[in-house]
């Protein structure tokens, strides 16, 4: 059975609640304060609500035990939800940039000063939320939580950009009104970069890309350190959610009995699980050392 990482969904629920409150606050303040950057920020927070729902459900599905139809578990639901959240970020970046350009070309009044206080509160709230969720995502090696955390950071960045733009517009006076919209345009570029940053590892996991070389080296070192092991090769590793899936060939004494080979296989599995930072499923192929050259041929 694949081990479950409990408690992760509470961070998605927390993000859902915070995003809902901030979307309303920023939307109202943007309309009353004549700030498109703040309105764009509210739109981005509204997208965050849906993103948090997706992350929440992705983590919930990934926590299910393996079933007859999904014998390797549901771990990839995390990577899938991370990819969807990243695509939402891309869409938000494109939408904000288009509207920002339109607002730059349209004469309008400068934003109201009170919007600065709103934005400072948003930046503080979102940065705190980013740090908490990012820490949880790193601790649990969760792509979905990490993507959600960077969504919070992107919201903090757009709010900070809006704060700078509105400040310039207010200080500069007449003729500087578009500074607010230029800030929204700059923020959209940051969001775009963030989206690409979170999308790439999600796609890599969905495509079963191997983890960092250090993971494979740790596996080989752990197994070769066993006294009855004479060689290790064809080590394959992939990851789904927080679970490692390892497949490898272990060479032993050709005269070893099947019973003893089974014991060595069990020791190899235990050594690998102890060497990797997370739940691990291991498949060990035992073979006599004399067949090493044959075994290194084309994979089946």
Let me know the angle formed at the C-alpha of 85 by 79 and 88, rounded to the nearest 5 degrees: 145
Are 148 and 52 in contact by the 8 Å Cβ rule? The answer is: yes
Mean pLDDT of the chain: 80
CA distances from residue 160 to 41, 145, 146, 184, 213 in whole angstroms, order as listed: 10, 23, 21, 10, 38
114 and 169: one domain?
yes
Domain-embedded: residue 236: yes
173-187 pLDDT per residue, tens = 777 777 777 877 887
Domain encompassing residue 177: 9-206
Average pLDDT over residues 274-281: 81
Most confident of 12-21, 265-274, 277-286: 265-274
Domain-embedded: residue 202: yes
Domain-embedded: residue 2: no
**pLDDT for 13 beyond 60:** yes
Sign of CA dihedral 54, 58, 61, 64: negative
Average pLDDT over residues 76-101: 83
Average pLDDT over residues 216-220: 89
57 and 186: one domain?
yes
**pLDDT for 300 beyond 50:** no
Let me know the angle formed at the C-alpha of 110 by 107 and 111, rounded to the nearest 5 degrees: 130
99 and 175: one domain?
yes
Structure tokens at 177: 């009104």
**What is the per-residue pLDDT for 294?**
46
Domain-embedded: residue 300: no
285 and 243: one domain?
yes
CA dihedral 260, 263, 265, 271 (to 10 degrees): -140
% pLDDT > 70, the chain: 90
Give me the CATH number covering residue 277.
Answer: 3.30.70.1350
119-143 pLDDT per residue, tens = 899 889 989 988 888 888 777 777 7
**What is the per-residue pLDDT for 247?**
92
User: Which of 173, 206, 239 is the endpoint of a domain?
Assistant: 206
21-74 pLDDT per residue, tens = 888 888 888 888 877 667 767 776 776 777 778 877 777 787 777 778 887 778
Confidence of residue 295 (pLDDT cuts 50, 70, 90): very low
Domain-embedded: residue 1: no
Domain-embedded: residue 80: yes
% pLDDT > 90, the chain: 10
What's the pTM value of the predicted model, to 2 decimals? Answer: 0.66
Q: 9-18, 38-47, 107-116, 204-213: which has the minimum mean pLDDT? A: 38-47
**pLDDT for 296 beyond 70:** no
Q: Give 237's strand partners.
A: 246
**pLDDT for 291 beyond 60:** no
């Amino acid at each position: 059975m694949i081990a479950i990482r409990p408690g992760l969904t509470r961070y998605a629920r927390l993000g859902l609640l915070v995003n809902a409150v901030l979307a309303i606050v920023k939307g109202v303040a943007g309309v009353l304060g004549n700030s498109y950057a703040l309105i764009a920020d509210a739109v981005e927070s509204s997208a965050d609500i849906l993103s948090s729902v997706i992350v929440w459900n992705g983590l919930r599905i990934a926590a299910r035990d393996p079933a007859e139809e999904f014998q390797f578990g549901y771990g990839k639901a995390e990577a899938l939800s991370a990819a969807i959240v990243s695509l939402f970020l891309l869409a938000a970046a494109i939408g904000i940039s288009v509207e920002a350009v339109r607002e730059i070309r349209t004469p309008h009044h400068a934003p109201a000063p009170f919007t600065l206080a709103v934005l400072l509160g948003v930046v503080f709230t979102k940065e705190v939320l980013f740090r908490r969720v990012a820490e949880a995502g790193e601790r649990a090696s969760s792509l979905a939580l990490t993507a959600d955390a960077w969504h919070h950071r992107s919201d903090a960045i757009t709010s900070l950009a809006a704060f700078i733009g509105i400040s310039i517009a207010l200080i500069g006076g007449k003729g500087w009104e578009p500074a607010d919209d230029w800030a929204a345009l700059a923020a959209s570029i940051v969001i775009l970069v963030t989206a690409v940053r979170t999308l790439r590892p999600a796609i890599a996991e969905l495509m079963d890309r191997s983890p960092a070389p250090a993971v494979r080296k740790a596996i080989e070192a752990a197994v070769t350190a066993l006294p009855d092991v004479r060689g290790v090769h064809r080590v394959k590793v992939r990851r789904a959610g927080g679970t490692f899936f390892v497949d490898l060939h272990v060479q032993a004494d050709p005269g070893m009995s099947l019973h003893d080979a089974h014991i060595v296989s069990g020791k190899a599995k235990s050594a690998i699980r102890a060497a990797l930072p997370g739940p691990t499923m291991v498949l060990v192929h035992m073979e006599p050392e004399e067949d090493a050259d044959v075994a290194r041929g084309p994979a089946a």
